[in-house]
Amino acid sequence: MTTQSQIDALRSETVAAQSLFIDNATVEGTAEPMAVTSPIDGTQLTTIANATSGEVDLAVASARTAFNDGRWSRLAPAARKKILFAVADAIEADALALSVLGIRDNGTEFAMAYKAEAGSAAATFRYYAEAIDKTPGEIAPTAPGTLGLVHHEPVGVVGAIIPWNFPLMIGAWKIAPAIAAGNSIVVKPAETASLSLLRLAEIAAGAGLPAGVLNVVTGDGRIAGDALARSMDVDVLAFTGSGMTGRKLLEASAQSNLKRVYLELGGKSPNVVFADAPDLDKAAAVSAGGIFRNAGQVCVAASRLLVERSIHDDFVAALKSHAEAFKVGDPLDLNTQIGAVNSETQLAGNLRLTEAAISEGAECITGGNRILEDTGGSYMAPTILSGVTPTNTVFRKEVFGPVLAVTPFDTEEEAVQLANDSDLGLAAGVWTSNLSRAHNMISAINAGVVHVNTYGGPDNTVPLTGHKQSGNGSDKSLHALDKYTNLKTAWIQL
């Protein structure tokens, strides 16, 4: 069991200036490094290398060499499997230190980070390790005298651009299936959450992953990310982040080598609560967690609450009680339930969107303000906005903060219309005791994940897929391997 003294000891450790990780070695950047400011207290934690386009090209060249010479791509599946299991074991052994390092960097509360970051990353590497020798090719049902074979081959070099909210978890969602399939990869973390992925690369090298298979380049996305997206030697690009950046990556692909680009672009997820929900107290508690965990910085966050009008006032009151009971503060304090907003820039954006909602007619039931300013850190009170209509900005725009927009509805048909009244379609929730209604809502809501009488929790056995402008392709499950493999047909006359 983790103790506060263990966390405090790791918190006090100095974090050395960070380098790029290329070809299983640290590489000093040539540009002025970037400062890493901890959202916990606003102090400088360390620096990261600010990769130039030439240094990104160096990482891509390392990945290409590793792929072409077959040191990984042509290893027997059982051999790759053994190394990926070793990576998972090493992550698990270093889970506490990895979690604390990541929290100092991005501000996620410890209870969530320990499970969703290191714990999830280890489980993801294990899942794809186990899948390596269980995903065979195909024999086509052809005419006698002809043999049709379908081979699944690695694409080559993968580029992955990872967000700051769950760098280890989302990083593993992309790294593990990509290298399990036999590819090499170049990872570009977010500027405000690079430390745990740099440490992961070192762990993987120590566990036996060959040089060049996993490379990490840090720095300004406008330079390093753009260079990765425009590289003529990257075959597939996987990205999680904003729609604006996703569009730029598609443009870069069109202007370079037409690499496949897979995007997960967030959501404005509806959480629909009917009056016949089996347990309204549980629905309120889980709904509060579904938007306020990690200070609302979750891609699938249940940020739009659609609640049947007959229970609206009582349900909002219950939500308010849960929101105000959360302990917000130092994410490395074991008693904290909600940690820091990732950066001052993100906090300022959250507050601007909250103020805009109020100016457009929404009522702030609780929160709406910065808190704990004397700590020097970036903290926001859990915020509930009532009376939000589809014309309000906060109904449509992803805040990516602890801000809940509440809208009443009268009928099931109206609930579906409101739920789908968005350009985004990543996730949704439905609370009802009516089995027929549950299945009807699953069918009617245009989202990649629909939770029923819960919110959150799907594991690696099922995909996370964006609908509409939430993206394309899938993270998690065996379907994720499709992004990182090519199909090749062999047509043989016997």
**Is the distance from CB of 55 to CB of 188 less than 8 angstroms?**
no
Spell out the residues 6+ positions from residue 286 whose beta carbon is closer than 8 angstroms to its own. 454, 455
Give the tokens for residue 323: 């929101």
- Distance, first Cα to last Cα, the chain: 63
- Nearest residue to 318 (alpha-carbon basis) of 361, 358, 289, 354: 289
Catalytic residue, from 117, 264, 308, 398: name it. Answer: 264
- Nearest residue to 158 (alpha-carbon basis) of 143, 173, 179: 179
The rounded distance, in Å, linking the Cα atoms of 137 and 140 is 10
**Is the distance from CB of 178 to CB of 213 less than 8 angstroms?**
no
Amino acid identity for residue 341 in this structure: V
Q: Tell me which residue has tokens 């929404």.
A: 362
Give the tokens for residue 109: 């509360």
Can you give the length of the chain in residues?
A: 494
Give the tokens for residue 413: 């048909």
- Nearest residue to 216 (alpha-carbon basis) of 245, 196, 232: 196
**404 strand-pairing partners:** 384
Q: Give the HSE-up count for residue 45: Cα atoms under 13 Å, Cβ half-sphere.
A: 27
494: enclosing H helix or E strand:
none
138 catalytic? Reply is no
Active-site annotation, residues = 264
